[in-house]
Amino acid sequence: MEFILFTLLNGLSYGLLLFMLSSGLTLIFSMMGVLNFAHASFYMLGAYFAYSISVNLSFWVAFLAAPAIVAGLGAAVERYGLRHVHKYGHAAELLFTFGLSYIVVELVQVTWGRATVQYSIPAELDGPLFTLYGTSFPIYRGFMMLVASLMMLSIYLALTRTRVGLVVQAALTHPSMVEALGHNVPRVFTLVFAGGCGLAALAGVIGGDAFVTEPGMAATVGSIIFVVVVVGGLGSLAGALIASLLIGMVQTFAVSLDYSVLTLLTALGIQETALRGSVLRITVAQMAPMLPYMLLVLVLILRPKGLMGTREG
Amino acid sequence: MSSSYQRTSLAGSAVICVTLLSTPALAETVRVAFIDPLSGTFAALGQNELQSFHAMAARANQEKWAGDNQLEFVGFDNQASPQISLVQLKNAIDQGYRYITQANGSGAALALIDAINKHNERNPGKEVMFLNHGAVDPSLTNDKCSFWHFGFDANADMKSQVLINHLATNPAIKKVYIINQDYAAGHQFTRGEKEYLKSARADLELVGEDLVPLGKVKDFSPYIAKIKASGADSVVTGNWGTDLSLLIKAAKEAGLNANFYTYYANLKGAPIAMGADGADRVRYVGIWNINNETFAGEDIATSFKQKYNDDFTWMVSYSIVAMFSKAIKESGSTDPVKVGFALEGMKATSLNGQVEMRASDHQLLQPLYIGVWTKADGKTVKYDQEGTGYGWKTEKKYEASASTQPTTCAMKRPPRS
């Protein structure tokens, strides 16, 4: 019972962090049709800026300032980079963001070094939130979940209840009509791109100290967030949420399953010693890091548009 | 006139002769390629190790450990990958390196020795030697043993034997959980630990085991939840780098009050993750502890800290530089074949006492320390680590005989030329 509860909470907090990361990516895609390969780089930049600011000032300044700085960088990238590349089509945009991700990694290594930086959790958030049956749940994980939930709520409200949000939604489907009505659609694009980057940076601020802040961090989350947006359906926020939680849960629960195909066969009464050393003996726990990718392949075969996707192909 | 001319020229040639004799023809700079991670997840560890070699080489050069020869260690970043290690080996060989050293990842070590064996077979006279400073897969000095490989760290089995036997001396420990990294040495740790658990004490129970992907897991809380659920009172782990510090961090967050028996908790990153929380619960087995019986090596650690603002923990760099220098000096050569034969069976004093490079398998036999994380008290725990106010108290020193194991090595040697 206790084990299930804590694994559930761990899975939930990890899933929500994944959502913070992938929501920006999926927003940008749905708006601009750009699959931003540099998205995880903005997550990394968020963590590194937060590290530098929190060392010199405080975590709370970093919490507000780092996403703002990264959003500013995102706006500049869109305004002076992507917008020029846009006219050459999607392939050019894709390659542009792909190249950008490499440049960011190199810049980070030049600025902050190649090793892990000591970005640690602020003292006031360090400690147990509650203790149940002798296992404690850290405050910081609760904080992560809170921030992610608040972020989710504010995106939802901003998109559905504000004027800007309505313009954004309209520009999503009918950009020329919106432009004809006198709205500055390119500026809306810049806004969305900057916002998406800011969200990734926010995830970096709270993910960097919970885990590790190092130049390889973008590469490690980069692949998983693509899984999230593809499984959820490209461009669907609700899909991204479901997929994030699903992957968070699958990965955490899988770790606890020490069963393999061989265990199943043995349970069925099949005793085959020749199979002992084969791949069948690999347990679900050992496969845990691979499962999201298997899920990706499965979804692409069975439902190519993703769980909540609307676009075909 | 002519006789005085002859005299001066005679005197002149005598001076030249003396100068020639006093500067041996082979005073050269011996370069060693350090093929280890210098970027990515394990970079902090790799950089600390490379700095340790730099510090040792500087000392050796100043005190002429290798006669007039100078030692130089140069970093080649392998990004912890066996494939990139091979590329860097090729680079080093192309640049004329005859010696390489590597530690982080036995997968890379096995790939390297395989490539070196082939290279040496095909390029007689241009042999390359592998001074292993920490890849601990026992097969490197057993079935995969090679004349061109020298293991200066104690291998996984030797360390497991001492660690598990030490664990068994605590009667309070009943339930053990094993967690290791999913790669060559991690598998060997798991195998060895299970073997020794069985033989150490009858009532020791293995309540669970896990293999985690090397350097991939960022969130260890699911593993901790699993350990907690298993009811283990002690965790044995061969994890290193971030895989260890994140594991300890997650254990601390979840309030897991188990003992940790580790191999690498004394290396960079782990101490800061433990802080006060690991006190009296975290132990490591290793070839050295700065808080040893005579504080041997404290001068080295102090000057290292002054220069790099970091803790000196990678003592194997001392053993390597000392024995490698001695071999160069004794053989009067920098050729890997001659140096190799000089190293075989060499006895020396390192910072942990008497050590011997066993000739039959090139495995260094040496004393091992068990350290326990304790509040620094200025006496037995004179030096803390990473500014935490805690350091390693020597709980026990095991002499080399406690970890000496038989070998299955059947070594092929080059002709002594």
Element (H, E) at B101: strand B99-102
Under the banding of pLDDT at 50, 70 and 90, the label for residue A257 is: confident
Under the banding of pLDDT at 50, 70 and 90, the label for residue B360 is: very high
Least confident of A231-235, B360-364, B374-378: A231-235
Higher pLDDT, A237 or B115: B115
Q: Is A161 exposed, middle or buried (0-12, 13-18, 19+ CB in 10 A)?
A: exposed
Residue A287, chain B, CB below 8 Å: the answer is no
pLDDT higher than 90, residue B109: yes
Under the banding of pLDDT at 50, 70 and 90, the label for residue B26 is: low
Do the Cβ atoms of A109 and B39 come within 8 Å? yes
- Percent of chain B past pLDDT 90, that is, above it, reads 68
Under the banding of pLDDT at 50, 70 and 90, the label for residue A278 is: low
pLDDT higher than 60, residue A129: yes
Task: Name the CATH superfamily, with its identifier, for domain B29-154+297-365.
Answer: Response regulator (3.40.50.2300)
Residue A10, chain B, CB below 8 Å: the answer is yes
Do the Cβ atoms of A289 and B38 come within 8 Å? no
pLDDT higher than 60, residue B327: yes
Tell me the mean pLDDT in the region A5-28: 87
List of residues 6+ apart from B336 with CB closer than 8 A: B98, B99, B127, B128, B129, B148
pLDDT higher than 90, residue B341: yes
Least confident of A127-136, B102-111, B121-130, B242-251: A127-136
Q: What is the pLDDT of residues A154-188, one digit of tens each?
A: 888 888 888 888 888 887 778 788 888 888 888 88
Give me the pLDDT at residue A221, please.
Answer: 83
- ipTM (interface pTM): 0.76
Mean of the per-residue pLDDT values for chain B? 89
List of residues 6+ apart from B404 with CB closer than 8 A: B158, B365
Do the Cβ atoms of A138 and B253 come within 8 Å? yes
Question: SS3 helix, strand, coil % of chain B, rounded to 5?
Answer: 40, 20, 40
Distance CA B407, CA B139 (A): 9
Domain residue spans of chain A: 2-255
Give me the pLDDT at residue B363, please.
Answer: 95
Do the Cβ atoms of A128 and B242 come within 8 Å? no
List of residues 6+ apart from B274 with CB closer than 8 A: B248, B252, B265, B282, B373, B388, B390
pLDDT higher than 70, residue B12: no
Give me the pLDDT at residue B18, please.
Answer: 46
Do the Cβ atoms of B39 and A141 come within 8 Å? no
Do the Cβ atoms of A211 and B229 come within 8 Å? no
List of residues 6+ apart from B104 with CB closer than 8 A: B36, B37, B42, B45, B46, B49, B80, B134, B135, B240, B241
Tell me the mean pLDDT in the region B334-351: 94
pLDDT higher than 80, residue A128: no
pLDDT higher than 90, residue B392: yes
Under the banding of pLDDT at 50, 70 and 90, the label for residue B395 is: very high
pLDDT higher than 80, residue A47: yes
Under the banding of pLDDT at 50, 70 and 90, the label for residue A275 is: low
Q: Contacts of residue A118 in chain B, CB cutoff 8 Å? A: 272
Give me the pLDDT at residue B82, please.
Answer: 93
Q: Contacts of residue B255 in chain A, CB cutoff 8 Å? A: 128, 131, 134-136
Mutate to test the interface with B, among A114, A249, A258, A291 (most CBs of B within 10 A): A114
Distance from the B19 Cα atom to the nearest Cα atom in chain A, whole angstroms: 47
Under the banding of pLDDT at 50, 70 and 90, the label for residue B270 is: confident
Tell me the mean pLDDT in the region A50-54: 91
pLDDT higher than 60, residue A55: yes
Least confident of A50-59, B17-26, B158-167, B199-208: B17-26
Contacts 24+ apart (CB under 8 A), B274-281: B274/B248, B274/B373, B274/B388, B274/B390, B275/B388, B275/B390, B276/B375, B276/B388, B276/B389, B276/B390, B277/B252, B278/B248, B278/B252, B278/B373, B278/B390, B279/B373, B279/B374, B279/B375, B279/B390, B280/B372, B280/B373, B280/B374, B281/B257, B281/B373
Distance from the A85 Cα atom to the nearest Cα atom in chain B, whole angstroms: 31
Domain residue spans of chain B: 29-154+297-365, 157-286
pLDDT higher than 60, residue B29: yes
Element (H, E) at B173: none
Domain boundaries A2-255, corresponding CATH code: 1.10.3470
Higher pLDDT, A275 or B65: B65
Under the banding of pLDDT at 50, 70 and 90, the label for residue B70 is: very high
Mutate to test the interface with A, among B36, B39, B179, B274 (most CBs of A within 10 A): B39
Q: Are strands B353-357 and B364-365 parallel, antiparallel or unpaired?
A: antiparallel
**What letter represents residue B391's amino acid?**
G
Do the Cβ atoms of A211 and B225 come within 8 Å? no
Give me the pLDDT at residue A313, please.
Answer: 37
Give me the pLDDT at residue B235, please.
Answer: 94
Rounded alpha-carbon distances, angstroms, from residue B209 to B64, B168, B169, B335:
49, 18, 21, 46
Query: B29-154+297-365 with B157-286: one CATH topology?
Result: yes
Least confident of B8-12, B50-54, B190-194, B206-210: B8-12
Higher pLDDT, B258 or A130: B258
Distance CA B99, CA B77 (A): 16
Mean of the per-residue pLDDT values for chain A? 84
Q: What is the pLDDT of residues B285-321, one digit of tens each?
A: 999 999 999 999 999 999 999 998 889 999 999 999 9
pTM: predicted TM-score of the whole model, two decimal places: 0.81
Q: Contacts of residue B220 in chain A, CB cutoff 8 Å? A: none
Residue B395, chain A, CB below 8 Å: the answer is no
pLDDT higher than 80, residue B271: yes
For B38, name the nearest residue in chain A, comparing CA atoms only. Answer: A114
Nearest to B254 among A114, A135, A210 (CB): A135
Do the Cβ atoms of B222 and A118 come within 8 Å? no
pLDDT higher than 50, residue B354: yes
Give me the pLDDT at residue B324, please.
Answer: 96
Residue B211, chain A, CB below 8 Å: the answer is yes
Higher pLDDT, A238 or B84: B84
Distance CA B26, CA B15 (A): 20
- Percent of chain B past pLDDT 70, that is, above it, reads 94
Q: What is the pLDDT of residues B212-221, one digit of tens each?
A: 888 778 788 8
pLDDT higher than 70, residue A72: yes
CA-closest candidate to residue B193, choices A54, B43, B204: B204
pLDDT higher than 90, residue B237: yes
DSSP for B281-323, please give it: TEEEEES--TT-TT-TTHHHHHHHHHHHSS----THHHHHHHH
Give me the pLDDT at residue A311, please.
Answer: 57
Distance CA B346, CA B323 (A): 8
Q: Which CATH class is domain B157-286?
A: alpha beta
pLDDT higher than 90, residue A118: no
Tell me the mean pLDDT in the region A271-285: 67
pLDDT higher than 50, residue A22: yes
Structure tokens at B154: 């104690």
Under the banding of pLDDT at 50, 70 and 90, the label for residue B2 is: very low
